[in-house]
Structure 1
Amino acid sequence: MRAALHIPGHFGEWLQGRLGADGPVVLVTLPAPALGLDLCYRPGPGLSLRGAGLTPARARRFLDLLGLSLRGRIVLRPVVAPGLGTGVSTASLVALARLAGWNGAPEILARACVAAEGASDPLMFAAPERMLWASRQGRALAALPALPRHEILGGFSGDPARTEATDSAFPDVTDLVARWRGAATLADFAAIATESAARCSALRGPFEETAPQLAADLGALGWLRAHTGAARGLIFAPGTVPAGAGAALRAAGWRGLVRIRGGGR
């Protein structure tokens, strides 16, 4: 069996919530190329699927939506366990579509993901952090500014929590979206991300004490989280992550540490 492809994931969100009390759930994702999912494939009769909780029947229904078909043995290998906030579910569907030969518009692929699962992360786009994404609709509502260069040092804290398409119990972030569209410095973006994470923790739990304290102790500009899932991260300007920061996160109980570098205009 050969490894066919890797689909990048994400690491929680910079912000997530409702646009108004009755508006759609929207988010700004944090791309994490090293996370996501690897797909291993061997041609053959029928369709055999293992890993990431995706069944052959569900895979066939999804591929039918795109006018595709696929046969063979497929093993889906998430880089981290599903439910931690890294986009494993969406990455699984994107991997299947690309293995089956999909080369169409990402907007169409996103709609198929939503039709199959009820929600989607924007992993099929080249710059997913540059859009205000309506995750239950599978579409971008607005273009967003490029992020300044940044480093995220993070890990996983708490139990897995899979996204439920019917779950819309998120705080109103209309004001944060407006601030995001006008933000300029990394400190601006970090402050917005911190407020979004704090609002989510206050409404949805779990109560988050460790991340704010670590951010203060380590001189981070702010912190962020998976608004559904266990991913937690500290936001730093490039080159400012202090020595011993990883040890501090481990001592606080964070596991599976990750380091993400991104942004830049």
Structure 2
Amino acid sequence: MRMLSVPGHFGELLQGRLGPEGPVALMTLPLPLPVIAAQVTGPGAAVAGPLPPPLARGLLRRLGLGFPGRVLIRARLPVGGGAGCSTAALVALARLAGWRGDPMDLARACVAVEGASDPLMLPGAGRLLWASREGRVLGAMPPLARCEIVGGFFGPPQATRDAGAFADISDLIAGWRAADLPRQAALASESAARRWGDDRAAQAARALGALGWTAAHTGSARGLIFRRGAVPPCWRAALLAAGGRSLLRFRVGGE
């Protein structure tokens, strides 16, 4: 029985348009935890779990692959929450089906079938400025500095927004290129606020003394950014009281 897992992301540090007519661009927040587990459970040509069969068939057709058998996919975090579960499920299916090609070809296939894609299949995704609706790398970015994230999912899943609904973040992209961790946290907070306003996560960040907060711009994931070792012991109780669910804590950055 073949099995594999695929890590996801935890929303975006930055997301929005590059100018009034520019593409939707994002800088992902890597999540060093698997969000999808997939396995081949027997012979056949079907998929069960959160990945809709039409998307599965469309992806395999574009990659010139067939079903590896009956595939069972399980999500370990809320689907539609902004943790990359949909893209991770496509990546898992492709790998189970034998995909060993160029990651950019896989990225473009994912965008073609789901309309927008996270760069989970690319090495060093946290260093990329990514056009999520075009499946292309717009440039290299300095990674998030070493830090600790606590967060969870606040409210119901969110649908992908129309491209025109995103705020312009050209100024935030420029500022990121010369930022240390406190400045990065401030820029991530501003990007999240342009999408969500004074969100419950923003209020929790202030109450807990976080450097800032980050959000899925088309999902319910929210994270608070701390220096490593500076997370207060009461963080879990505070996020639960604010309405957070499926809470998690992880270290990231500097890679």
For this structure pair, what is the TM-score category when the shorter chain's length is used for normalisation? over 0.9
Give 1:99 shift.
Answer: 0.6
Q: Is 1:196 paired with 2:191?
A: yes
Match of 2:167 in 1: 171
Kindly provide the CA deviation profile for residues 73-95 of structure 1, in whole angstroms up to 9, marking residues without a partner as x: 11110112211111111111111
Match of 2:109 in 1: 112
Kindly provide the CA deviation profile for residues 190-216 of structure 1, in whole angstroms up to 9, marking residues without a partner as x: 0100000011114xxxx51x2222111
CA distance in 1, matches of 2:213, 2:97: 38
2:67 counterpart SS class = coil
CA distance in 2, matches of 1:3, 1:230: 32
Given the superposition, is the C-alpha separation of residues 78 and 3 from structure 1 closer, same or farther in structure 2, using an over 3 Å criterion?
farther
Give matches, 1:208-247, under 5 Å: 208=199, 210-247=200-237
CA distance in 1, matches of 2:177, 2:63: 33
Match of 2:52 in 1: 54
Match of 1:157 in 2: 154
Kindly provide the CA deviation profile for residues 193-248 of structure 1, in whole angstroms up to 9, marking residues without a partner as x: 0000011114xxxx51x222211121100001110111011000000001111111
Match of 2:18 in 1: 19
Give 1:35 shift.
Answer: 4.1
CA distance in 1, matches of 2:118, 2:251: 20
Paired letter, 1:258: L
Match of 2:144 in 1: 147
When structure 1 is superposed on structure 2, of 188-197 and 79-88 the one drifting more is 79-88
* Cα pair 2:51 2:90 within 8 Å, conserved: no
CA distance in 1, matches of 2:3, 2:243: 35
Kindly provide the CA deviation profile for residues 49-97 of structure 1, in whole angstroms up to 9, marking residues without a partner as x: 1111421x43222112112112411111011221111111111111111
When structure 1 is superposed on structure 2, of 70-79 and 226-235 the one drifting more is 70-79
TM-score (norm 2): 0.95
* Cα pair 1:35 1:86 within 8 Å, conserved: no
CA distance in 2, matches of 1:35, 1:225: 19
Paired letter, 1:248: A
Extract unaligned runs of 5+ from structure 2.
none
CA distance in 1, matches of 2:31, 2:97: 24
Paired letter, 1:33: P
**Number of matched pairs:** 255
CA distance in 1, matches of 2:57, 2:133: 21
Return the match for 2:122 from 114, 117, 125: 125
Paired letter, 1:82: V
CA distance in 1, matches of 2:81, 2:34: 11
Match of 1:255 in 2: 245
* Cα pair 2:19 2:170 within 8 Å, conserved: yes
1:182 counterpart SS class = coil
* Cα pair 2:146 2:253 within 8 Å, conserved: yes
Paired letter, 2:195: C
1:168 counterpart SS class = helix
2:206 counterpart SS class = helix
* Cα pair 2:186 2:212 within 8 Å, conserved: yes
The percent identity for this pair of structures is 54
Given the superposition, is the C-alpha separation of residues 33 and 3 from structure 1 closer, same or farther in structure 2, using an over 3 Å criterion?
farther
